Amino acid sequence: MKISELVMLFQRAMNRSGERLTEDGDFGPVSQSKADKYNFTITATPKAVPETPPPPVTGSSGNPAYNEAKKYAGKKETDKGFSAWLSAWWAKVGLKSYVTKGIAGASLAWCALFFFTMNSEVGQKVVASAGAADIGRSSGFEINWKRDGIPQGAGVWKNSSSCGSGSGNHITWADGDCSAADLAKAKATWPGFGGNQNNEVKRSIYCAKGDCSGSKDVICRVFWHVKTLPPPVKTSKNCSGSSSAETTR
C-alpha cells in the first residue's frame, strides 16, 4: 500500500466522523490539524497467499469418483432401490429403452454405467457410453502402469483375455497402490473396486498379465481423471490377493 492510500483512509475515517476533507491522499496542514483531534488505531494483517494444491499422494486417492463409488459398497443389482436409481442413468448414455428394465434385467453389463454415473455425480467427465472399452480407451489421461505402477483411485480398463476382444471388457478403479516392480512379477495381481463385479459393487482381485491360474485377465489401459498424474508408486499397498474368475455378464 502506498502512503497516499493510507492518508486517504485517514481522511475517509475523519469524514465519517463529520469532517469535510478532500480525500486526495495529501496530508497537508488542513488534514493534519483535523487529525490532531482524533486517536487512530492501525491493524495490519498479512495477506493470505494462495497455496498450490499438492499432487495426489500415493496411498490416498485423489479421485472423487472413486471415493463416491465407495459409498455404494455392497449394493447388488437385485437391490430394488439401487437398481431403479442406477437404471435411470441408462438414458444418459443413450439407452432410454433400458431404463425400465433395471440393471439386473438388462442384457448389457452395468460396470460402465456405474463408472459413468460416479464420475457424473462428482462433476467429472468420461465418455458417455455403456461400453467399458469405450470409456477405458478414450477417457482421462493415460498412466504408464508398466513403468509407474497403478495408484489407488485410477481408472482401469481390463479384459478377460485380450484387449482387442469385443467381449470380456470391464471398467473399474484401482483399490490399492501397486508398484511397477510388483506388477512385473509372475502371476501379479491388482485389486479393482467397481460395479457389476459378481453382480454387485465390491472389491475384486484381477490378474495383471493373463498368467494367473484363476483367471486370464489382462490390463488394457490405466488412466487418471486429471492431467496432473499422481507420482509413481514406489511401494505397493493393499495390492496383493488371489485372483478368480467373476461374472461381469
Categorise residue 143: left if φ over 0, alpha if ψ from -120 to 50, beta otherwise. beta
**DSSP-assigned letters across all residues of 117-185:** HHHHHTT------S-HHHHHHHSSEEE-HHHH-B-TT-EEEEESS-TT-SSSEEEEEE-SBB-HHHHTS
Rounded CA separation 162/120 (Å): 29
Neighbouring C-alpha atoms within 13 Å toward the C-beta of 165: 15
pLDDT at res. 63: 95
Higher pLDDT, 202 or 40: 202
pLDDT at res. 243: 65
The model carries a pTM of 0.74
28 contact partners, CB below 8 Å, separation of at least 6: none
pLDDT tens by residue, 81-131? 999 999 999 999 999 999 998 898 788 899 999 999 999 999 999 999 999
pLDDT at res. 58: 42
pLDDT, average across residues 72-81:
95
Of the given ranges (9-18, 75-84, 113-122, 129-138), which has the lowest mean pLDDT?
A: 9-18
- Nearest CA to 170 out of 140, 200, 197, 138 is that of 197
* The one-letter amino acid at 67: N
Strands (E) in 2-145, as ranges, are: 141-143
87 contact partners, CB below 8 Å, separation of at least 6: 98, 99, 100, 101, 102, 103, 106
- In Å, how far are 30, 191, 238 from 78, measured between CA atoms? 83, 24, 29
Do residues 238 and 175 make contact, with C-beta atoms less than 8 angstroms apart?
yes
Do residues 185 and 202 make contact, with C-beta atoms less than 8 angstroms apart?
no
Number of H helices, E strands in the chain: 8, 6
Task: Find where cell 467381449 sits.
Answer: 167
pLDDT at res. 204: 94
Rounded CA separation 9/14 (Å): 9
Grid cell listed for 107: 442384457
pLDDT tens by residue, 146-182? 999 999 999 999 999 999 988 999 999 999 999 999 9
- What mean pLDDT is reported for the chain? 87
